């Protein structure tokens, strides 16, 4: 892992290298801010206490557009996403056409970035929450199956897990039998029509036998911007740790 200059004290950028440096992925780490400590038990007359890095929970963001030629997409996408979780540590790794989410190299890159978080805060990262949009949601599912950390919460927006197989096949592995699943799906999704996605999600939730819920917006569109603008409460509620 090679670090390079970070633009602000609450943000670190790095390049994670995996498989003997044959794969390199620009990644960002956003640290919790004092503003994110709204729930800290202090009097209102006092400033909120900063969230301790060692105690903060970790959220991994899997951006969409993994087929893009932009192999540093995680930095920009993560900066936008991290604003929704100021009290947590947000990690965003970059996938692209050469190294997309459904590869062992990218799952290893996520774990390498989490290793960097542990090293920088001097506290292990044993549990994470995962959030993905569009084909980034495939990364959420694949990391749940192959990643090294225990997964507490999963949020999949505008997703279609059918690209990876039948619902029962994905729901059956033991690593899927923990944590929560939340799906946000839209009726106006131009890429993944609800007629295909909703039946798959419904069957998956029945088969996975853990806390699993689909929230459906008949007007919902495919892009991240729609969910952020219209249902930011759904996004924040999906990560409760």
Q: pLDDT tens digits for 62-107?
A: 999 877 788 888 888 899 899 999 999 999 999 988 788 999 999 9
Residue 79, domain extent: 2-34+50-237
Residues 74-84: tens digit of each pLDDT: 888 899 899 99
Token couple for 148: 């090294």
Q: Does any domain span residue 39?
A: no
Q: How many domains does the chain have?
A: 1
**CATH number for the domain including 71?**
3.40.50.1820
Q: What is the pLDDT of residue 44?
A: 45
What whole-number distance in Å separates Cα of residue 199 and Cα of residue 219?
A: 18
Other beta carbons within 10 angstroms of residue 64's beta carbon come to 25
Contact 156, 132 (CB under 8 A): yes
Select from 136, 234, 140, 236 the least CA-distant residue to 186.
234
Token couple for 155: 């949020």
SS3 of 116, please? helix
Q: Does any domain span residue 42?
A: no
Q: Does any domain span residue 166?
A: yes
Contact 60, 110 (CB under 8 A): yes
What whole-number distance in Å separates Cα of residue 88 and Cα of residue 90?
A: 6
Residue with tokens 């897990």: 161
Q: Does any domain span residue 19?
A: yes
pTM given for the model: 0.89
Residue with tokens 């036998």: 209
């Amino acid at each position: 892992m090679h670090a390079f200059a970070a633009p602000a004290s609450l943000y670190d950028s790095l390049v994670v290298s995996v498989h003997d440096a044959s794969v390199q992925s620009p990644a960002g780490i956003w640290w919790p801010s004092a503003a994110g400590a709204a729930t800290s038990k202090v009097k209102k007359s006092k400033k909120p206490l900063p969230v301790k890095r060692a105690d903060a929970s970790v959220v991994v963001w899997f951006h969409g557009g993994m087929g893009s030629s932009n192999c540093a997409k995680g930095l920009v996408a993560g900066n936008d996403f991290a604003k929704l979780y100021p009290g947590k540590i947000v990690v965003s790794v970059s996938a692209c056409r050469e190294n997309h989410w459904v590869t062992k190299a990218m799952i290893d890159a996520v774990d390498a970035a989490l290793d960097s978080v542990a090293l920088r805060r001097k506290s292990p990262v044993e549990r994470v929450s995962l959030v993905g949009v569009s084909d980034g949601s495939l990364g959420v599912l694949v990391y749940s199956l192959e990643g090294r950390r225990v997964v507490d919460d999963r949020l999949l927006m505008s997703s279609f897990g059918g690209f990876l197989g039948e619902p029962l096949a994905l729901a059956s592995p033991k690593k899927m039998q923990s944590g929560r699943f939340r799906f946000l799906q839209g009726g106006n999704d131009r890429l993944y029509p609800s007629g295909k996605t909703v039946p798959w999600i419904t069957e998956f939730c029945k088969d996975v036998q853990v806390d699993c819920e689909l929230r459906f917006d008949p007007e919902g569109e495919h892009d991240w911007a729609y969910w952020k603008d219209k249902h930011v409460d759904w996004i924040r509620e999906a990560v409760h740790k």
